């Protein structure tokens, strides 16, 4: 009976894990992970980003953990008022691991975008993101029915499934629109499609990825003659039968405003936000930005069907962003 129960439990865990995807709560800090057209839409010249997410650590002895890192740079970007467009190029790495089987997903992408200035306030970006999608299952920490000798599980017996890995070429594409009147007043819309080629990533069974469609909306608005602003954000992702919809707003307190005599954008801001992941979790975050650096942390309190097991302890996430300027020449306002 034990082997049968183990097999059922293992199958359930594997299926649940196989559907995992990126589920970052502070998605607006790094839009290019969802849409390649967003690469190069940062305020300054070079942006580096890193974050770590740890979730469901009260449910499993091997909680889900996700690590990501990325960098992006603007190329041929002119400070002239007659500028027509520029390129954005980046690189992104995401590692996701969960469960006793050490089920791992690696996603590497190299997004490239071209940004067209329609006028001084409006821009439209088109991007593509070639890359690689890989997943691996290690069976070393699992026990299988074939290892049951009648008294116990014998790890010296060959497991039912050997270590498996599958990888394939991946491709994404997107559009990104931005309206910006000042550095503290902007709005954006974006749409993208990922896993366009629906790569085969199967091992021991046929498994083809669904294409993922993503829509985003965001804005930053600082109220006139005030040190207070709001930054509402919406993310909607649809992939096969699955969906992830997250919406809410940050509330921004400007401790030091950006320079009025230059085009430098390095304000000091303390911000906190409240979001809702539809039918899944309540999310709160805190962010502090200083001289182009942002340190942020968020906490998910889940309200889904896992509530009895998780005790409402969903996930914890930390992030670091550094958006720096390469050349300050020509950025003074005369």
Q: What is the pLDDT of residues 274-310, one digit of tens each?
A: 999 998 899 999 999 998 899 999 999 888 776 666 6
Confidence of residue 35 (pLDDT cuts 50, 70, 90): very high
Length of the chain: 334
What is residue 282's predicted lDDT score, i.e. its pLDDT?
Answer: 93
> Which pair of structure tokens corresponds to residue 113?
């975008």
**Token couple for 274:** 């409240």
**What's phi and psi for 22, nearest 5 deg?**
-65, 130
Rounded to the nearest 5 degrees, what angle is found at the Cα of 171, between the Cα atoms of 170 and 177? 150
Distance CA 169, CA 108 (A): 10
The full 3-state SS of 108-122, as one line of letters, equals EECCEEEEEECCCCE
The tokens of 12 are what?
A: 């359930």
Cβ(108)–Cβ(93) under 8 Å?
Answer: yes
Q: What is the pLDDT of residues 102-123, one digit of tens each?
A: 788 899 999 999 999 998 899 9
CA nearest to 259, candidates 316, 333, 200, 192: 333
CA distance 232 to 64: 28
Residues 59-87: b if buried by 16+ CB within 10 A, e if exposed: beebbbbbebbbbbbbeebeeeeeeeebb
pTM: 0.83
Q: How far apart are CA 125 and CA 4, in angstroms?
A: 53
Q: First-to-last CA distance in the chain?
A: 81
Give the whole-angstrom CA distance, residue 46 versus residue 56.
Answer: 34
In this structure, are strands 85-98 and 185-194 parallel, antiparallel, or unpaired?
unpaired
Q: In this predicted structure, which of 104-113, 132-141, 215-224, 324-333 has the lowest mean pLDDT?
A: 324-333
Q: Using DSSP bridges, classify how beta strands 315-324 and 46-55 pair: parallel, antiparallel or unpaired.
A: antiparallel
- How confident is residue 63, by pLDDT bands cut at 50, 70 and 90? confident
The residue whose two tokens read 């060959």 is 158
């Amino acid at each position: 009976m034990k082997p049968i129960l183990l097999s059922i439990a293992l199958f359930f865990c594997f299926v649940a894990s196989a559907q995992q995807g990126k589920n970052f709560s502070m998605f607006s800090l790094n839009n290019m992970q969802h849409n390649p057209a967003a690469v190069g839409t940062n305020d300054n010249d070079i942006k580096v980003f890193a974050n770590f997410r740890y979730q469901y650590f009260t449910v499993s002895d091997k909680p889900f953990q996700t690590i990501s890192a990325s960098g992006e740079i603007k190329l041929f970007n002119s400070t002239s008022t007659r500028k027509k467009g520029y390129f954005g190029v980046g690189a992104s790495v995401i590692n996701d691991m969960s469960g006793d089987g050490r089920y791992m997903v690696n996603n590497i992408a190299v997004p490239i975008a071209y940004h067209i200035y329609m006028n001084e306030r409006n821009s439209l970006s088109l991007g593509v993101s070639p890359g690689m999608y890989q997943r691996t299952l290690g069976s070393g920490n699992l026990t299988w029915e074939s290892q049951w000798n009648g008294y116990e599980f014998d790890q010296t017996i060959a497991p039912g499934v050997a270590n498996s890995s599958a990888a394939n070429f991946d491709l994404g594409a997107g559009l990104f629109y931005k309206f910006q009147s000042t550095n503290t007043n902007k709005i954006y819309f974006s749409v993208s499609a990922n896993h366009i080629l629906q790569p085969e990533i199967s091992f021991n069974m046929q498994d083809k990825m669904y294409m993922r469609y993503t829509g985003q909306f965001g804005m930053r608005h600082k109220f006139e003659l005030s040190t207070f602003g709001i930054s509402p954000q919406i993310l909607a992702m649809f992939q096969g039968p699955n969906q992830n919809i997250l919406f809410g707003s940050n509330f921004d307190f400007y401790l030091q405003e950006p320079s009025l005599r230059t085009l430098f954008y390095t304000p000091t801001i303390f911000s906190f936000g409240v979001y809702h992941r539809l039918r899944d979790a309540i999310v709160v975050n805190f962010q502090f930005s200083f001289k182009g650096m942002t340190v942020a942390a968020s906490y998910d309190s889940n309200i889904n069907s896992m509530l009895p097991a998780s005790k409402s302890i969903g996930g914890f996430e930390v992030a670091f962003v550094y958006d720096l300027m390469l050349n300050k020449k020509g950025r003074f306002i005369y």
